[in-house]
Structure 1
Amino acid sequence: MQPITGFYLRFKPHILMVLAQIAYTFMYIITEASFNHGMNPFVYVTYRHIVAGVITLPFAYFIERKIRPKLTLALFLEIFVLSLLGVSLTLNMYFTSLKYTSPTLLACMVNTIASLTFILAVILRMEIVNIRNPRGIAKILGTVVSLVGVMTMTLYKGPALKNIGHALVHIKGSTGVVEGNWLKGSLLTVASCITWSIWYIMQAYTLKRYPAQLSLTTWMNFVGAAQSAVFTVIVQHKRAAWTIGFNIDLWSTLYGGVVISGIVTFVQLWCTEAKGPVFVTMFNPLSTLLVAALAYFVLGEKLNVGSILGGVIVVMGLYLLLWGKELDEAQINLKGNEEPKFSSDENNFKGEA
């Protein structure tokens, strides 16, 4: 029993991030179904984070009432910017792009977040890169390889694979992407990936001053929902857009609010504090593979050779980066005397065991 417990404690962040990516996989599919049903993306983002805020509020209030720092004006402004980058601005661009592209492309483009976050972390000296060491070379090479993979997916489509059977689930309009809007959707996706990367980096700094993950999750959800609501009211004047029935729109909102903006956001904040922002973004390729498989086998969506080739290259690059980072942590732990910037697995879990 002890080896199993030790394995779980050591790889707890890894397990949590794998589960988070599985949750993201279903989000891609269910939101595409909802948007094709007529759900407005801006309304979806607003409702989703209201649901998340309501769900996380009681847990944050009671569980973290003794450890939650006092909320100053400066800290609130920081949370306001954090909510803008992680909720209202980023997600509105992101889900709007889903109307013009496909869930497979979005899942592929999200892989750029890890590379962008790594570059920002190096610039801000949150990550150490020694080009004379195999670890540093692995990090740099992994970043370059992953970016090459993303460019391959974006610029080269190649022939489409023949579907091996009929779609098990039919989503109205899921294969009817307008080609003229593909560039518009791609640009929105790229912009959202850039702001998302900044969000991950900023989380690490905010958590140092506000080390209460549940409370920070709740604040981001409510503030982000308010920001999105103001934006939505400006661009959407039809009252009917705010009305959702007992259908896929409701289920996608509840799933996005409870699972993604609630549970997954909290898990990511916890892992960011434990392992750093670069670690959290390294698991994005898993959802890429799962989304592509679901879209091809279940939804009957076309799968191009370029997407497969680029996806393989991206995964190779990002896990080369992960290998380099894991070796960094191993060396830090061997030193023993020096405390890492982000807690190592052993140090982080001593208080939880």
Structure 2
Amino acid sequence: MGTSIGTYKGFKPHILMVLAQIAYTFLYFITEASFNHGMNPHVYITYRHIVAGLAMLPFAYFLERKTMPKLTIALLLEIFVLALVGVSLTLNMYFVSLNYTSPTLLASMVNTIAALTFVLAVILKLEDANIRNPRGIAKVLGTLVSLAGVMSMTLYKGPVVKSLGHPLIYIHRGNGVVHENWSKGLILTAASYITWSIWYIMQAYTLKRYPAQLSLTTWMSFVGAA
């Protein structure tokens, strides 16, 4: 029993990351279905982060009220920039690009975020790409494999995969016309993922001065919604 608990704790971050990606996958389809039924992307982002902020607020208050660092003007400005880049700018470009591309493209290209974040972290000397070390080799190879997979998913046009049953989510396309502008969608998607990677790097710096993850998430949600 003790060994099982120890193993679970050791792999807990990996399990949570897998669950987060599964949740994102469902989110892509639900979001596109909402947009194609008339939901405005900017309104969607506002509602989404108001709900996120309200959901996180009780956890942030009760779990971090005794350890929460004091907010200063400099920290508030930093949180504003984080919300602007990671919530407002990133997600507006991200969800607008969904109108021009497809959930499959976004789900595949999201893997570039880890690769871009790693490259930026190496440039800023937050990560060590030591190719003489097995960990460094694994990071570099993982980045290359991720980028190769994204390129394959984006450029390769294979046979259509048909569903054997009825779809769980119906995505309505007005008058049977699919409004896709792949060049515009790809530019918006790429810009979104670049700012997303920058946002991760910025959070690493902010969390050193404000080590309260739940509170920071709550602040970013409300400021981003505003």
**TM-score, normalised relative to structure 2:** 0.92
Post-superposition offset of 1:30: 0.8
Task: Indicate if the aligned counterparts of 1:112 and 1:146 stay in contact, CA closer than 8 A.
Answer: yes
Post-superposition offset of 1:29: 1.2
In the TM superposition, 1:148-187 aligns within 5 A as 148-154=148-154, 156-163=155-162, 165-169=164-168, 170-173=170-173, 176-179=177-180, 181-187=181-187
Give the direction of change, closer, same or farther, for the CA distance of 1:59–1:138 in structure 2 (3 Å limit).
closer
Deviations 1:292-320 (A, max 9, x none): xxxxxxxxxxxxxxxxxxxxxxxxxxxxx
**Equivalent residue, structure 2, for 1:92:** 92
**Equivalent residue, structure 1, for 2:75:** 75
Task: Indicate if the aligned counterparts of 1:102 and 1:177 stay in contact, CA closer than 8 A.
Answer: no
Deviations 1:117-153 (A, max 9, x none): 0001111222112223343233223322322332233
Task: Give the letter for the 1:163 counterpart.
Answer: K
Task: Give the letter for the 1:88 counterpart.
Answer: S
Q: Which segments of 5 or more consecutive residues in structure 2 lack a partner in the other structure? A: none
Task: Give the letter for the 1:43 counterpart.
Answer: V
Give the direction of change, closer, same or farther, for the CA distance of 1:138–1:63 in structure 2 (3 Å limit).
closer
Using the alignment, how far apart are the partners of 1:44 and 1:126 within structure 2? 34
Task: Give the letter for the 2:54 counterpart.
Answer: V
Using the alignment, how far apart are the partners of 1:102 and 1:130 within structure 2? 37
Task: Give the letter for the 2:45 counterpart.
Answer: V
In the TM superposition, 1:34-49 aligns within 5 A as 34-49=34-49
Higher RCO (CA-CA < 8 Å; seq separation 6+): 2
Task: Indicate if the aligned counterparts of 1:207 and 1:213 stay in contact, CA closer than 8 A.
Answer: yes
Task: Give the letter for the 1:194 counterpart.
Answer: I
Task: Give the letter for the 1:177 counterpart.
Answer: V
Give the direction of change, closer, same or farther, for the CA distance of 1:135–1:178 in structure 2 (3 Å limit).
same
Using the alignment, how far apart are the partners of 2:166 and 2:40 within structure 1? 26
Task: Indicate if the aligned counterparts of 1:101 and 1:177 stay in contact, CA closer than 8 A.
Answer: no
Task: Give the letter for the 1:130 counterpart.
Answer: N
Task: Give the letter for the 2:193 counterpart.
Answer: C
Q: How many residues align?
A: 224
**Equivalent residue, structure 2, for 1:212:** 212
Using the alignment, how far apart are the partners of 2:70 and 2:161 within structure 1? 58
Q: Which segments of 5 or more consecutive residues in structure 1 lack a partner in the other structure? A: 227-353
203-212 vs 87-96, which deviates more? Answer: 203-212
Using the alignment, how far apart are the partners of 1:26 and 1:158 within structure 2? 23
159-168 vs 106-115, which deviates more? Answer: 159-168
Post-superposition offset of 1:4: 1.5
Post-superposition offset of 1:162: 4.5
Task: Indicate if the aligned counterparts of 2:101 and 2:186 stay in contact, CA closer than 8 A.
Answer: yes
Query: CA RMSD, aligned part only?
Result: 1.8
Deviations 1:3-61 (A, max 9, x none): 12111111111111122112112111111111011000000001111111122222212
Using the alignment, how far apart are the partners of 1:187 and 1:25 within structure 2? 21
Post-superposition offset of 1:201: 1.1
Task: Give the letter for the 2:179 counterpart.
Answer: V
